[in-house]
């Protein structure tokens, strides 16, 4: 039976969800709504959605499923608006916000009217925003948290899970409180640290402008997420402020502990500190997309001249070696560049290495 799925907010996550749902739920008509008309038109042109909603109200009142995919403060306002409409009696409403407690509280406006609201949060994303960053496989193998409360029926949960099958994500149920605490530790607090490291570098840049030039792989890796949407992250911090304030206390103690080890020049404690961190970090699930993206990467030294990328990919194509991603690392802008090729298997990487070395390229593996 045809189902109308309204996606409110056609950015990275809303757009990716639309692409995912279309993968498997073929009887769905994807209807989009966004306050940014340019994003909306773009989503339509890119066929991420099938139709544009004439208005939020019309789109919502005709929908069987509603996804709220806007920054979390905006999500609260959308919920308030939806609560004033005449939605279908069996509509299922969900969201994708990075915080859950405050949204679930607000959603009582909907559940009090007998509508089903199931909080959701796909644990995959990017520092990029907008529908052009949307990807059909963004959530593959990632965790996707659902936070149904006691008002949610088994049938509604089943229907939503069915709709989300195309994401190929691992659905997991948590309470909103548990969610906010856990995600605070592994996503929200690290985001603050990333931004603070960038501020620190900027501060030192005033003393010596070489800071920017020297910022190499490590700094770029640890601060990538500081390039994310400031609106989205402002809202997340304001929503999860209780958990985050608590974590600051731990963090200050942690930093104090590190400072003390350095002050004492305690080599053995410093070594142990890094050993323990490495052990825990190395145990994280590395092969699953969405957790920590992990591919079989091959680095290739390339001279900086036009056409170099097509030359390299051309050699690989001749030997039918497919790459999943390609990126120029901007660490050595002066003479040479480094291409990072991501391959699907160890075997493909070996083949690519042999192929490019036969064409006199220097390659290296950095696992």
Ligand X SMILES: O=C(O)C(=O)C[C@]1(C(=O)O)C=C[C@@H](O)C=C1
**Residue 11 binding result from ligand NAD, ligand X, none, given CB thresholds of 5 to 8 Å by partner type:** ligand NAD
Compose the 79-118 pattern: x for residues touching ligand NAD by CB under 6 A, - for all others: -----------------xxx--------------------
Encoded tokens for 59 = 């789109």
Residue 122 or 337: which CB sits closer to ligand NAD? 122
Sites for ligand X among residues 184-213 (CB under 6 A): 187
| Binding partner at 13 among ligand X, ligand NAD, none, C-beta below 5 to 8 Å by kind | ligand NAD
- Dihedral angle, C-alpha 88, 90, 91, 95, nearest 10 °: 150
Q: Residue from 13, 31, 91, 145 that binds ligand NAD (CB under 6 A)?
A: 13
Residue 270: enclosing H or E segment and its boundaries? Answer: helix 267-282
**Total binding residues toward ligand X, as defined by CB under 6 A:** 9
Q: How far apart, in whole angstroms, are the C-alpha atoms of residue 220 and residue 331?
A: 9
Q: Applying CB under 6 A, what is the total number of residues that bind ligand NAD?
A: 32
Stretch that binds ligand NAD, among 31-39, 109-117, 267-275, 331-339 (CB under 6 A): 31-39
Please identify which residue in 118, 146, 232, 298 interacts with ligand NAD, judged by CB under 6 A.
232
Which partner, ligand NAD, ligand X, none, binds residue 69 by CB below 5 to 8 Å per kind? ligand NAD
Dihedral angle at the C-alpha atoms of 135, 141, 143, 147, nearest 10 degrees? 80
**Which residues are within 8 A (CB) of 113 and not within 5 positions of it... i.e. 6 or more apart?**
83
Which CB sits closer to ligand X, 74 or 98? 98
Q: Would you count residue 135 as binding ligand X (CB under 6 A)? A: no
CB atoms under 10 Å from CB of 306, counted, come to 7
176 binds ligand NAD (CB under 6 A): no
Spatial distance between the Cα atoms of 142 and 169, rounded to a whole number of angstroms: 5
Residue entry with tokens 């509280």: 105
Residue matched to tokens 């050595």: 332
Q: Give the residue, chosen from 4, 5, 67, 74, that forms a contact with ligand NAD under the rule CB under 6 A.
A: 74
Question: In this structure, how many other beta carbons lie within 10 angstroms of the beta carbon of residue 202?
Answer: 11
């Amino acid at each position: 039976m045809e189902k109308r799925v309204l996606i409110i907010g056609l950015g990275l996550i809303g757009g990716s969800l639309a692409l995912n749902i279309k993968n498997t739920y073929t009887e769905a008509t994807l209807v989009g709504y966004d306050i940014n008309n340019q994003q909306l038109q773009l989503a339509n042109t890119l066929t991420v959605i099938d139709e544009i909603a004439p208005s939020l109200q019309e789109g919502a009142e005709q929908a069987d499923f509603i996804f709220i995919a806007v920054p979390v403060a905006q999500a609260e306002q959308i919920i308030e608006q939806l609560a004033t409409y005449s939605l279908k009696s069996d509509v299922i409403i969900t969201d994708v916000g990075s915080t859950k407690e405050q949204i679930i509280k607000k959603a009582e406006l909907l559940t009090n009217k007998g509508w089903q609201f199931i909080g959701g949060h796909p644990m995959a994303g990017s520092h990029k925003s907008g529908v052009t960053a949307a990807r059909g496989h963004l959530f593959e193998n990632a965790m996707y948290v659902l936070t149904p409360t006691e008002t949610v029926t088994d049938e509604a949960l089943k229907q939503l899970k069915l709709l989300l099958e195309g994401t190929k994500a691992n659905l997991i149920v948590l309470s909103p409180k548990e969610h906010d605490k856990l995600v605070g530790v592994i996503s929200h607090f690290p985001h603050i640290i990333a931004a603070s490291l960038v501020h620190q570098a900027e501060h030192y840049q005033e003393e010596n402008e070489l800071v920017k030039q020297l910022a190499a792989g490590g700094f770029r890796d640890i601060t990538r997420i500081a390039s994310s949407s400031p609106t989205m992250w402002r809202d997340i911090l304001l929503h999860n402020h209780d958990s985050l304030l608590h974590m600051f206390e731990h963090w200050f103690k942690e930093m104090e502990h590190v400072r003390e080890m350095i002050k004492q020049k305690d080599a053995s404690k410093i070594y142990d500190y890094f050993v323990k961190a490495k052990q825990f970090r190395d145990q994280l699930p590395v092969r699953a997309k969405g957790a920590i993206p992990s591919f079989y990467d091959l680095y290739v030294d390339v001279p900086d001249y036009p056409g170099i990328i097509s030359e390299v990919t051309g050699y690989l194509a001749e030997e039918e070696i497919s790459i999943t991603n390609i990126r120029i690392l901007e660490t050595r802008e002066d003479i040479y560049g480094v291409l990072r090729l991501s391959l699907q298997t160890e075997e493909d990487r070996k083949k690519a290495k042999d192929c490019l070395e036969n064409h006199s390229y220097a390659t290296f593996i950095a696992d």
